[in-house]
Amino acid sequence: MFSFRKLSLATAMAVSAALLVLLVVACGSPPSSSDSTSAPSGAAAATSAADLGGMDALVAAAKKEGTLNVIALPPDWANYGEMISSFEAKYGIKINSAQPDGTSQDEINAAKQLKGTDRAPDVFDIGGSVALANTSMFAPYKSAEWDQIGAELKDPTGLWTSNYTGYMSIGYNADKVPGPTTMNDLLKSAYKGTVALNGDPTQASAGFNGVVMATIASGGTADDFAPGVDFFAKLNKVGNLLPVDPTPATIASGQTPIVIDWDYNNVAQTAALKGKVSWKVVVPANEVIAAYYNEVINKDAPHPAAARLWNEYVFSPEGQNIWLKGAARPVLMDVMTADGTIDKTALAALPVAEGTPVVLTQKQIEAGQTYLLANWSKAVQ
């Protein structure tokens, strides 16, 4: 049998040295198994339907691919459940929905991790900050309605396009607590142990914008988040803040009688809990905060044609109305109201919002992030 005794000291050293060299080399990244360095071809290069020869050609190419990977799209978030099922029904393309409770950052992480595989996400629906930070991962595309979207709501080359927004709202269980009308109402003793914020503001953008709403309500401006954080600190101190993550389960069980979240999420709960819990939604007057999410196509999408067809679908009147039905405000809402393609019943059902919506600039967002990172944890201890 093989005897170790015959080997010499030199061999042992050589093996160790080889391992070290391997480690040093491995400090770089592995070679990409997809040919992303070479120019993309076919559907992956298309920057509009015209590049592929028109909508019909795009539909045919997408049907040929047969699958679409989406990520972080909960079925009850802005009516994504219906968006997914109607897309599947219309084009016969199967949609794989991964990580429904993921955040925008999770979407980017998944794309990096699954790069080159068949499971990588094809499209993203992500918040503004994450979009701006990762444009190198996106493919430019302009859907048929792209020109009708305002210039400040899209990237000039089509790398990202705002798709819908909502207003921050206070959802409440009318059976358990009196209805608040403004944020400052929540400081009253009637709301002891009832107020939950959707997500930690340093982690999730819904929570982040909740703090913005508190800032505006406290008389501050979007340039300085201190009043908002102080508001939540006070809320915590008087025992009104509940450090529970609100989910449909906690709302149904009555554990979180008040939830600060996007109005489309709260409205979805009203519908889901009809008959069981009287869940009402109010957008405080003059404390209206809006933030657009963005539709993005993965540069290394495993199903490029299907990804672009999805993009066309969500910006078409049909897709935009589905979001409207979910109580989100689609980006083309004004355009569609003008030319009559809007779903009037859904439009009328939107929560009333008095006051001009506040939308943060990128600079304000970054300043807010820094402030929150340094001060949020202390405030809610």
Partner 1 sequence: MTQGADLGLTDVGDWDLGVDQSPRRARPGGALKSLRPTSRHLGAVPFFGYIAIFLLWPTIIVIVGAFQNDSGQLTLANVTTVLGGSTYLQAFWASIRLSAETALAGGVLGALLAWAVAEGDADGVFRRQVVAMSGVLAQFGGVMLAFAFLATFGYAGVVTLALQRVAGVDPLASGGWIYSFTGLAVVYTFFQIPLMVLIFLPAVDGLQVQWREASDNLGGGSWAYWRYVAGPILLPSFVGGLLLLFVSAFSAYATAAALISQGSPIVPLQIRTFLQSEVVLGRANVGKALALGMVVVVAVVMTLYAWLQRRGAKWRA
Partner 2 sequence: MARLAKRTSGGSRRPRSRTLVRWIVLVGVGAYLLVPLLSMLDFSTRGAGSSRTLEAWKAIGSFPELLSAIAVSLELAVLTVVGMLCLLVPTMVWVHLRLPGVRRTMEFVCLLPLTIPAIVLVVGLSPVFAWLTYFFGDTPLVLAFVFVVLVLPYAYRSIDAGLRAVDIGTLSEAALGLGASWWGVLFRIVIPSIRGALLSAAVLSIALVMGEYTIASLLNYNTLQVVLYQVGLRNAAVSVAVSLAALMFGFVLLFVVSSAGSRRRRAAREESTLAPLEAGLQL
Euclidean distance between CA atoms 299 and 302, whole angstroms? 9
| Cβ at position 76, least distance to partner 2 in Å | 10
Measured CA to CA in angstroms, residue 265 lies from 74, 98, 327, 358 at distances of 10, 19, 8, 19
Euclidean distance between CA atoms 268 and 350, whole angstroms? 11
- Choose among partner 1, partner 2, none what residue 110 binds, the Cβ cut-off being 5 to 8 Å by kind: partner 2
- Choose among partner 1, partner 2, none what residue 119 binds, the Cβ cut-off being 5 to 8 Å by kind: partner 2
Alpha helices in the chain (DSSP H): 9-26, 55-65, 80-91, 104-113, 128-133, 205-217, 226-237, 248-253, 263-272, 304-315, 317-325, 333-339, 344-348, 362-379
| Cβ at position 239, least distance to partner 2 in Å | 24
In the complex with partner 1, which residue's Cβ is closer, 44 or 372?
372
- Choose among partner 2, partner 1, none what residue 356 binds, the Cβ cut-off being 5 to 8 Å by kind: none
Q: Which residues bind partner 1 (CB under 8 A)?
A: 4-9, 11-13, 15-16, 19, 23, 26, 103-106, 109, 126-127, 129-130, 133, 192-193, 197, 199-205, 207-208, 239-245, 250, 253, 255, 369, 372-381
Euclidean distance between CA atoms 287 and 169, whole angstroms? 9
Q: Is the dihedral angle over the CA atoms 228, 234, 240, 242 positive or is it negative? A: positive
| Cβ at position 149, least distance to partner 2 in Å | 32
In the complex with partner 1, which residue's Cβ is closer, 79 or 105?
105
In this structure, are residues 160 and 311 in contact, taking their beta carbons and an 8 Å threshold? no
In the complex with partner 1, which residue's Cβ is closer, 8 or 345?
8
At 236, phi and psi to the nearest 5?
-70, -40
In the complex with partner 1, which residue's Cβ is closer, 7 or 45?
7
The residues pairing with 296 across neighbouring beta strands, listed in sequence order, are 124
| Cβ at position 251, least distance to partner 1 in Å | 12
Chain CA centroid to CA 24, Å: 38
In the complex with partner 2, which residue's Cβ is closer, 163 or 298?
298
- Choose among partner 1, partner 2, none what residue 29 binds, the Cβ cut-off being 5 to 8 Å by kind: partner 2
Euclidean distance between CA atoms 160 and 163, whole angstroms? 9
In the complex with partner 1, which residue's Cβ is closer, 224 or 318?
224
Euclidean distance between CA atoms 1 and 4, whole angstroms? 10
Q: Which residues bind partner 2 (CB under 8 A)?
A: 1, 4, 26-27, 29-31, 33, 99, 101, 106, 109-110, 113-114, 117, 119, 245, 247-249
| Cβ at position 102, least distance to partner 2 in Å | 8
| Cβ at position 246, least distance to partner 1 in Å | 9
Q: Biggest alpha carbon distance in the chain?
A: 88
In the complex with partner 1, which residue's Cβ is closer, 144 or 252?
252
| Cβ at position 259, least distance to partner 1 in Å | 13
